[in-house]
Chain A
Amino acid sequence: MSDDRTLQSRRDALKCMAYGAGTLFTLVGGVLAPIDLALAAGTPKERLGKPLFVQISDTHIGFSKEANPDVNVTLKQTIALVNGMVQQPALIIHTGDITHLSKAAEFDLAQQMLSQLRTTELHTVPGEHDTSDATVTEYFDRFGKASNRKGYYSFDHSGVHFIALINVLEFKPGGLGILGAEQLAWVASDLKGRSASTPIVVFAHMPLWTIYEPWGWGTGDADQLTEQLRRFGSVTVLNGHIHQIVQKMEGNITFHTARSTAYPQPIAGQGKGPGPLKVPADQLTKMLGVSSVSVVNHPHSLTIRDSTLG
């Protein structure tokens, strides 16, 4: 029965994720589980697990079109939401498109706003909007230190191994962005000798599985990454880019894309392209948000196969 309830509450949580304000990732028994922030507020601490990190994505500072004339306000709301969590997450992950036009002033404002988070450990990867300046330097000047300006790096926290990847610079002609041979070789060396029981979190801007190729919602050589991740017991792959939640389970690998804090985008293939989606003003905040991950203690947390959304 409790299994069913776990599954049911998970289903409810995922439902909330589709329309609610945000998601928290908890680590339960070494398993990362996304939980809706609003739901998390009313959940007993022991069932919720330890908040590990919050994923913020696609803040698009500098955007001011009809789909959201003030992206600063919605980022501030997001920050207030995260700062309001009873237990603060250990770290924050930003999965790219920090800015809209890669302008210095946009990056400066974004950094200033993100510094208002109570949790100060921030890890980032760039989106294609962060590398659209003529010199491709503005992002790396500010956030390039962790990766020695390469865009990919790894770190450990609370026994979880985190891998940050970049898939917005190289591409297959006419097709998808790629990780590239050099980065894939680095991942292989980074994972070499690591125990299969180590929980792994991989994050990059563009989805690391193909959601919709005509719109560039995928990564051309992601299968070579997935192959390397299969032997691990718990893998969570987090992306942004598509401004909506889509989830997939493949073996022990959970793929999850986050909402934007700035503006929604259409469902795959609906319309001329992946541009900003204009929705009625009272609908907008329901389509924006963050994701958050904690550590939980129920093995059945893994079983979320009926959770595909979007």
Chain B
Amino acid sequence: MISQRSRRLSWLSVALSVWLASCGPSPNSPPPASPALAGPSGTSQILIKDFKFIPASLSIKAGTQVTWVNHDDEAHNVIISDGMGRSGAIDTDEKYTFKFNKPGEYHIRCSMHHRMAGTVVVQ
């Protein structure tokens, strides 16, 4: 019962943040990409496409598993805050998953394409 209730609460917070965004001062500002991609079940996904991490910035709760999926013809890899985590090469349609247990701001990059950069904020 408790878990059901907390899940309902997290849904509420997502709905609330979307509502707040829609009432923001700039009606043309882009929608908040990260909460939409953060699922309620402790998993989240980052797409690798056209040599970019999408979304470039992701906010998650501690304990969330993040999965990177490569949709490019080129291989990439994922390096998390230089030393926290490092994938092998991720070929087309392959995935890499990392669980973020500790709160903080993590820098994400690809050692093969230095312009590819992102952030994961763990609350």
Contacts and interface: CB of A to CB of B under 8 A. Distances in A.
Contacts of B91: 100-101
Interface string B22-51: 000000000000000000000000000011
A172 B92 CA distance: 26
Contact of B111 (A132, A176, A272): A132
A216 interface: yes
A129 B50 CA distance: 18
B105 interface: no
Given A171-B114, A174-B117, A177-B114, A276 B88 contact: no
Given A175-B115, A272-B50, A273-B50, A132 B73 contact: no
A133 interface: yes
Contacts of A214: 115
Interface residues of A, number: 29
A276 B113 CA distance: 14
A65 B115 contact: no
Contacts of A181: none
A276 B112 contact: no
A276 B73 CA distance: 7
A176 B81 CA distance: 18
Contacts of B75: 100-101, 129, 132
Interface in B58-104: 72-75, 77, 86-89, 91-92
Contacts of A102: 88-89
B114 A274 contact: no
Nearest to B76: A132
A273 B74 contact: yes
A129 B77 CA distance: 10
Interface of A: 65-67, 100-103, 128-129, 131-134, 168-169, 171-177, 214, 216, 272-276
22 contacts: A65-B92, A101-B75, A101-B89, A102-B89, A103-B89, A128-B112, A129-B89, A131-B111, A132-B75, A132-B77, A132-B89, A133-B88, A134-B88, A169-B111, A173-B114, A174-B114, A174-B117, A175-B114, A176-B114, A214-B115, A273-B51, A276-B74
